[in-house]
Amino acid sequence: MGRVTTRSLTLDAPSSPGRAGRSVPIGIAPPPAPSFDFVSAKVQVPVPRAGSILRTALVNRLRGAAPVPLVTLVAPAGFGKTTLLAQWASRDRRPFAWVSIDERDNDPIVFLTHLAAALDTLHPVDSSVVDALRSPAPSIWTETVPRLGATLAATREPIVLVLDNVDILRPGDSAGAVATLIEHLTEGSAVVLAGRAQPHLPIAALRAGGRLLEVGPEMLALSRREAQLLLRETGIELTDADVAELLSRSEGWAAGLYLATLALQDENGGPREVVDIGGDDRYLADYFRSEYLAQLSPKQLAFLRRTSVLDRMCGPLCDAVLDRQDSATELESLDRANLFVVPLDHHRGWYRYHRLFKDLLRRELEQHEAHLIPELNRRAADWFEARGDAEAALEPAAASGDTDRVARLVTSLVLPVYQSGRIGVAEGWLEGFDAAELDAYPAVAALGAWVHALRGRPVEAERWLLAAEGRSFEGTLPDGCSSVRPWIALVRAALCRDGVEQMLTDAEAALSELPAESEWRPTALLLQGTALVLLGNHRRGDAVLASAADAAESVDATATQVTAISERAVVAAHRHDHAAAESLALEARSLVANSRVEGHAAGALESATSARALLRHSRWAEARAELESAGSLTPFLSHALPWLAVQARLELARAHVTLRDEAAARAMVSEAGEILRRRPRLGGLSDETDELQRQIDAMPDAEPGKGSGLTGAELRLLPLLATHLSFREIGERLFVSRNTVKTQAISLYRKLGVCSRSDAIERATRLGLVETTTGAPPTDLVGTG
């Protein structure tokens, strides 16, 4: 213990790294007087622990905040607040004073005594402060606080005063004294308030004036690199994927990450995988229970357990689920206490639990009140559905065991979710239905067949369609249909199992029964228009495709709109209307860029048509990016949607022919031919495939060991060859020599299968590599260019 007397303030331990304890005389020694005891450990600045992870970025940010008089570090236990502060103290040019607060500091005399002792480690405290502490006036505000304030104001050099665990101070004189003392700081000094919860201090004015730096869990969370360093210290070997998974589960919470590694090494439970670690593991659960849950009342525990069924929470939702009226107040209280509750907006309206904390709460609910789980989830589903949020209602509906409701919600959601580009989400919902349930819900089965077809899974698509065909439906579907027949007919058209003629028949059968406002109608028009085009009726097919695009736009069916416009671009290219083809292709590209449908398998056709349009304008890099994008999507285009799979590959092959990339073009035509062998009756696509094969066969052979595609230099050269510039002048434009231009031209002529500049431009124009020129380029051979 240290002792405070009117003669001296004596510290038993160093105040900061490398600083020895001392006894500082103040004035002339009076007679011995009563003294106050204080705990010396409470006023010691911690020394950074050897082996701790250096938080360099955060320390530098704190050091750079010197003009800010108040810093708050607020986060749950285990986020490394004290470690960070110790590292900051060891690197800041300003001296640090430190008070570790406990419950006794709610007595203002105890608190102010420790505060005086902490300040004395930096500068001798005036004897008047000690006198005030020894014989306090009826109120600390008349003597003690003003004198301590004067001591702070008289400090010659800037200091940093850390009050750790400041959230323990309840509203009252101790907390009020802190607020007053902040006002007496000299320029460049700062007070740091660290704790698990927001301190009971009026800091809003400082925040509004930009004189407050707030560091919370999101800033204290470990980065990927810091997590790797921490895990390395434990001696456990993990893959990058495992590190990423642990970091995601812990949300950067250092203690959680460390405790998870203990769970992985727990020999009692046998070998563990990262995916098996959750907040209900014994190491994490013990920590949560001892540090947090043990201090809560039964009512608070019940609130936490029962709301753990929710992925996100707000006051009204919790009221509905728990049948109470004060949930908003409870959530605010949990937020203020930093009880692993994460705000989801700036208004503190919506919250969620930390992932690991929620794991434990769910386990507690299952152990103590499992019978409540279905009802809690049912109420949550009711609340979301009553507010028109069917997607949010889906998970609690499934957790409540209400399969009928889940089927109804899925039936209403799959199509709009697919149209918005989130087909993977729809897949997840459909995976929850087993074979028996498919027989009971034919509408879900039809939707599943459609989604499986889009994902390139023909066997699953056929199986789900068979389930849909095997049962009748009674009631009204979300689009107003009283029967599932038009949905089934539409999926049959898309699968095109029996040829293009039957595809047209099925599409028209669907259109005859679909209501005008049905979200399926644009897709039915797309299928009808495509079938007409494949049967050779380009004029009518194009008109129907235009109607499909318009109908899709009216119901926000972006995926269908993009596909219909891309189909029209293909039609325009077939009639050699390159201007229209380019306009339509770029319109589809713009739609994709301004929506979330990237990654949609049908987008392969859009990317291919966009690439061809970009090639005609010499935008080589963008065209190649589109080709790469399309190439990544073609694996999802199988004979499940044979017409689209073949069309996309033929358009890609044409783009590769334009680039004289024989290998890539052959690969696309070969894949198209394989699909045609499985689905041979696809109208004009067979003839188009044969014609493309002939074009590829006629391409000049590549040099041994080299690809035949045009290089970037050759693509840059082509537009200049179409001018009247000589090779020397072209070289000046490209900052290369005449001989380099000549060498590139020879290679280019060989790849195009020509021997003169004029023939090269003619061939390049037909391929769409350059725009048609108004004047003929020089007809010189390479040797005289």
Q: Which residues pair with 194 in a beta bridge?
A: 73, 164
Do 39 and 188 fall into the same domain? yes
At residue 681, φ and ψ (nearest 5 deg) are -95, 70
Radius of gyration of the chain (CA): 37
Same domain, 168 and 115: yes
pLDDT at 25 over 50: no
Q: Decide if 332 is inside a domain.
A: no
Question: Do 28 and 101 belong together in one domain?
Answer: yes
Strands (E) across 260-376 are located at: 341-343, 351-353
- Give the tens place of pLDDT for each residue, 350-393: 999 999 999 999 999 999 999 999 999 999 999 999 999 999 99
The CATH number linked to 733 is: 1.10.10.10
Residues 163, 261, single domain; the answer is no
> Which of 587-601, 633-647, 703-717 is predicted most confidently?
633-647
Structure tokens at 48: 């950074």
CA distances from 381 to 313, 377, 397, 643 (A): 13, 6, 5, 41
Residue 695 lies in a domain: no
76-90, 268-282, 288-302, 430-444: range with lowest mean pLDDT = 268-282
**pLDDT averaged over the chain?**
84
Q: Which residue has the higher pLDDT, 86 or 208?
A: 86
418 vs 520, which has greater pLDDT? 520
Task: Kindly state the average pLDDT of the residues 212-224.
Answer: 91
Cβ(486)–Cβ(494) below 8 Å: no
According to the model, what pLDDT value does residue 722 have?
78
| Residue 519 resides in a domain | no
For residue 726, tell me if it sits in a domain. Answer: yes
Report if residue 394 sits inside a domain. Answer: no
Give residue 782's pLDDT: 39
How far is 402 from 382, CA to CA, in rounded Å? Answer: 12
Is the confidence at residue 35, as pLDDT, over 70?
A: no
Token pair in block for residue 349: 């309206």
418 in Cβ contact with 451 (< 8 Å): yes
Are residues 214 and 67 part of one domain?
Answer: yes
- Do both 167 and 37 map to the same domain? yes
Q: Is the pLDDT of residue 632 over 70?
A: yes
- Domain of residue 197: give its range: 2-220
255 with 207, same domain: the answer is no
pLDDT of residue 120: 85
The tally of domains found in the chain comes to 3
On the question of pLDDT at 706 being above 60, the answer is: no
Asked if 237 and 129 sit in the same domain, the reply is: no
Last residue of a domain, one of 262, 277, 292: 277
Give Cβ neighbours of residue 632 (< 8 Å, ≥ 6 apart).
none
Q: Is 214 contained in some domain?
A: yes
Instruction: Check whether residue 209 and residue 233 sit in a common domain.
Output: no
Q: What pLDDT score was predicted for residue 237?
A: 78
Single out the residue in 220, 239, 260 at which a domain terminates: 220
Shared-domain flag, residues 158 and 243: no
Q: What is the pLDDT of residue 614?
A: 87
Q: Are 273 and 126 found together in one domain?
A: no
* CATH number of 169's domain: 3.40.50.300
- Of 277, 301, 321, the residue at which a domain comes to its end is 277
Q: Which of 130-139, 161-170, 537-546 has the highest mean pLDDT?
A: 537-546
Same domain? For 213 and 170 the reply is yes
Task: Give the three-class secondary structure for 164.
Answer: strand
Smallest CA-to-CA distance from 743 within 705, 708, 717 is with 717
Q: Is residue 371 part of a domain?
A: no
Out of 129-143, 529-543, 564-578, pick the least confident. 129-143
Q: Tokens 């009117």 identify what position?
A: 6
Residue 637 lies in a domain: no
Q: Which residue has the tokens 């309206």?
A: 349
CB < 8 Å & 24+ apart, contacts of 567-576:
567/526, 567/529, 567/530, 567/533, 567/605, 567/647, 568/542, 569/609, 569/613, 570/533, 570/605, 570/609, 570/647, 570/651, 571/533, 571/538, 571/541, 571/542, 571/545, 572/542, 573/609, 573/612, 574/538, 575/538
What is the residue whose two structure tokens read 């007070």? 191
SS (H, E, C) 515-564: CCCCCCHHHHHHHHHHHHHHCCCHHHHHHHHHHHHHHHHHCCCHHHHHHH
